[in-house]
Chains A and B, each alone.
Chain A
Amino acid sequence: MSFPWAQQYAPQNGLMKWVDERLPLPRLVYNAIGAGYPVPRNINYWWNFGVLAGVALVIQLITGIVLAMHYSANTLVAFNSVEHIMRDVNAGWFLRYAHMNGASFFFIVVYIHIFRGLYFGSYKAPREMIWLLGVVIFLLMMATAFMGYVLVWGQMSFWGAQVITGFFSAIPLVGEPLRVWLLGGFVPDQATLNRFFSLHYLLPFVIFGVIILHVWALHIPGSSNPTGVEIKSESDTVPFHPYFTAKDGFGLCVFLLAFVAVTFFFPNMMGHPDNYIPANGLSTPAHIVPEWYFWPFYAILRAFTGNFLGVDAKLWGVIAMFASIALLFFLPWLDRSPIRSANYRPLYRIFFWVWMADVVLLGVCGVMPAAQPWIILSQIGSIYYFAHFLIIIPLIPRFEKPLPMPNSITEAVLGKPSSAAA
């Protein structure tokens, strides 16, 4: 990795030299997120969101570990122990609201991070592995968030667990035994709650591990940039520290401002009031909705209302929902255009925004009741979602005439040199 002009780590004193010779951890950090990592000089604020996602994970880890000291994973007291945290534990309301909204903010920054990757073609060679690991992190986040939501043991927790583990019962033959195996019973109960608590505590550390791989893979080719032109010379880059530690620091302040504003003033804005009703296995809430970050996928799940091609509607819904995420794994090979950035891809740019609108439409359908016109809209939205990845993206390069690209990042920033030098 790294470019030949990258700054070299030099221990400042005898102690650091002693450490460097025995365990070169400071050197690793210096080369990873310090002055030793040259970064394209033109990356904009959309490139803040990777660091912000890392910070969001740390917020979740810290608040979560503390909450676990007061929470009890027992169906008889779980709901009350959350209320105990809210009312009795010192600063418990803050820790719990921070954890609850922290999950939403984690998804907000990760979604922006993913959309940035899609717009600027960050998934293309040689960065496919970074993208694949990112999709793995996204899947782990979804599993973690789902299990955390169940721990509250309110009505939405319980019925969310029932519906989501119900996905697995759609699998022919092994489905129902698999569901019972996952739940440890015939309905979500003590065994389910306890294992979800165990896994909810474990998975963030697994995510942390995959993030290390994600960043490692990033450091092989180095960061992409808004032009999509690769780094060619030293003048294309600046050291990560202090240039982007400062820029990320500014972005972090804005992020934390939004985060605490919501946590303090609108803490239940992204939650559902039914989850303040204790779980009742004999009464389903009139209208089950998942957390907002699952709405588009939930709409795809519900878009199938009848059997076709000899496969029942339930299995179709589950296949389509999982496929909508699994498709992302194939994206680097579905998109054949060698141009990375949508800034130079006039056709792709239009379809990118249409697809974004489609995702928003699916999100709206996901929160609405399973009735018309939302069913037909979610069907149209789902068809378009798949068409975007399977038809539109592979076909665009055949018809698209890319715009002229700068020869280098330096040229994109400073303009063409007056003496037309190569």
Chain B
Amino acid sequence: MATDTALAEAVVEDGVRRRDFIHLAAVSWAGVGAVAVVVPLVYQMNPSADVLALSTTEVDIGAIAPGQAIKTSWRKQPIFIRNLTPTEIAAANAVPQSELRDPQSLAQRTKTGKENWLITLGVCTHLGCVPLGASEGENRGDYGGYFCPCHGSHYDTAARIRKGPAPRNLDVPPYEFTSDTAVLIG
């Protein structure tokens, strides 16, 4: 009884009971435990190791003549590799940067000395459709590059967004030339 009285007096002194501390500590620790369990449950949704393992692709570009393009895939996403003609390069360089929604020059989107090789993801930056224009006879849109039929985005000869709802130019994947006729994407 004497200790109880002592406890009761302690409460009066600083306003916090021993039991309040135990409550807070127990509930907080349970909360930490719950969050710790949620982490793997959320984390398992991310791409698994086998999906990430597909992250490099080597492509032979020797057979692509100027004016032609091929479709290949990297990480299961379509890739456009286009051999630009001098006219297309000139058209891309003639556009003032101020006119662009996502200002970038052709040089910034290609490798030095290989400005004719335009390598981009074939994924529209709007909602992810594959734009037309990589194959012979497809609609290349108002700017001679690519045209996305889903929601009407037009890309120019440097695959830059010019018209329509897409926010960005077609993405340029990381890549390097391993020889004059081979590219390693990824």
**Cross-chain contact B126 with A287 (CB below 8 angstroms):** no
| Contacts A163-B128, A282-B73, A288-B150 given; does A191 touch B165 at CB 8 Å | no
B interface: dominant SS: loop
Q: What would 14 more interface pairs be, CB under 8 Å, given A185-B76, A315-B167?
A: A166-B127, A169-B128, A181-B42, A182-B45, A185-B47, A185-B51, A187-B77, A281-B73, A284-B130, A284-B148, A286-B149, A304-B165, A314-B165, A314-B167
Contact of B165 (CB < 8 Å), options: A181, A185, A313: A313
**Cross-chain contact A163 with B76 (CB below 8 angstroms):** no
In the complex the two chains form, what is the Cα distance from A180 to B77 in whole Å?
Answer: 12
**Cross-chain contact B167 with A191 (CB below 8 angstroms):** no
In the complex the two chains form, what is the Cα distance from A167 to B127 in whole Å?
Answer: 7
Which residues 68-104 in B have Cβ within 8 Å of A in the complex? Answer: 71, 73, 75-78, 101
User: Per-residue CB proximity of A296-333 to B under 8 Å, as 1/0?
Assistant: 00000010111100001111010000000000000000
Jot down 18 A-B pairs with beta carbons below 8 A, ordered by A: A162-B129, A166-B126, A166-B127, A181-B42, A181-B46, A187-B128, A189-B76, A191-B51, A281-B73, A282-B78, A282-B122, A283-B130, A302-B165, A306-B165, A314-B166, A315-B167, A369-B149, A370-B152
4 pairs of A and B residues whose beta carbons are closest in the complex: A166-B127, A312-B167, A313-B165, A166-B128
B3 within 8 A of A: no
In the complex the two chains form, what is the Cα distance from A81 to B93 in whole Å?
Answer: 51
In the complex the two chains form, what is the Cα distance from A180 to B48 in whole Å?
Answer: 11
B66 within 8 A of A: no
**Cross-chain contact A181 with B152 (CB below 8 angstroms):** no
Which A residue's beta carbon lies closest to that of B139?
A286
In the assembled complex, the CB of A141 is this many whole angstroms from the nearest CB of chain B, namely 22
Q: Which residues of A contact B130 (CB under 8 A)?
A: 282-284
Q: Which residues of A contact B151 (CB under 8 A)?
A: 302, 370
B164 within 8 A of A: yes
Contact of B46 (CB < 8 Å), options: A184, A281, A283: A184
User: Which of A167, A286, A370, A375: most chain B Cβ within 10 A?
Assistant: A370
A253 within 8 A of B: no
User: Per-residue CB proximity of A181-207 to B under 8 Å, as 1/0?
Assistant: 110111101010001000000000000
